[in-house]
Amino acid sequence: MATLVRRFDPFRELASLQNDMRRMIYAEGPGERGSRAWIPALDITENEKEIVYAFDLPGIPEDKIAVDLEDGAVTVSAEREREETSSQNGLHRYERHFGSFERTIALPAGVTEADVKASYSNGELELHVRKPELPKPHRIPVAKSEAGAIEGKAHKKD
C-alpha cells in the first residue's frame, strides 16, 4: 500500500493562514462566507495629468454604487446582493463575496469635485482624479530703502 505524503509548500501554508485570519476578522462561520463586509480589488495608475483608481465590481448594478467626495477623500461604497436560487441538486459551496463594502481613499491636497470623474463599464468602476497644479514659487522683489542710513547718537550716563 502506498502512502501519500504532502510536500511542504510555504505559499500554500501562507494562503491557508490568510484565509483563517480573514475568517477570524470578519467572523465568518460555515455558510456565511461573503455575507459580511468585503473589499474589492483596486488598481491605481498614474500619469502626468491624473491618477486613475480602478475597482473590480462585477455583478453590481450601477445604481448600487455610491461615490462620495468629502474632506479631501473619496469614498466608494456598494452592495452586491445574493440571488436566492433553488435547485434540486442544491448549492454546495459559496466562494463569491456578497454584502456591502466601503473604501475611503485620501486624495492629493487641492482636489475639488470638478477634478473627479467616475465611469462604470463591464464590472469596473474607474475614478479619474485630475492632479491639482502645484503652487509655483513667486519671487518677491526687495525694495531699496529711501530713508538712507539710520544714524544714532550716544548719550553719556551721569
Highest-confidence segment of 25-29, 31-35, 57-61:
57-61
The answer for residues whose C-beta is within 8 angstroms of residue 60's C-beta and 6 or more apart is 78, 79, 80, 123
Among candidates 85, 68, 84, which has minimal Cα distance to 76? Answer: 68
For residue 30, name the pLDDT band (cuts at 50, 70, 90).
very low
For residue 147, name the pLDDT band (cuts at 50, 70, 90).
low
DSSP string, 17-28: HHHHHHHHHTT-
63 is written with which cell numbers?
A: 445604481
Q: CA 16, CA 10: separation in Å to the nearest integer?
A: 10
Encode pLDDT of 72-114 as tens digits: 899 999 988 776 665 666 666 666 777 788 889 999 888 889 9
For residue 31, name the pLDDT band (cuts at 50, 70, 90).
very low
DSSP string, 49-83: SEEEEEEE-TT--GGGEEEEEETTEEEEEEEEPPP
Residues β-bridged to residue 102: 77
Identify the pLDDT of residue 87. 60
The hierarchical CATH code for the domain 38-83+92-130 is: 2.60.40.790
Report the pLDDT averaged over residues 3-28: 71
Q: Is the dihedral of CA 20, 22, 28, 34 positive or negative?
A: negative
Identify the pLDDT of residue 69. 92
Identify the pLDDT of residue 100. 83
Q: Where are the domains of the chain?
A: 38-83+92-130
Q: Is the pTM of this model over 0.85?
A: no
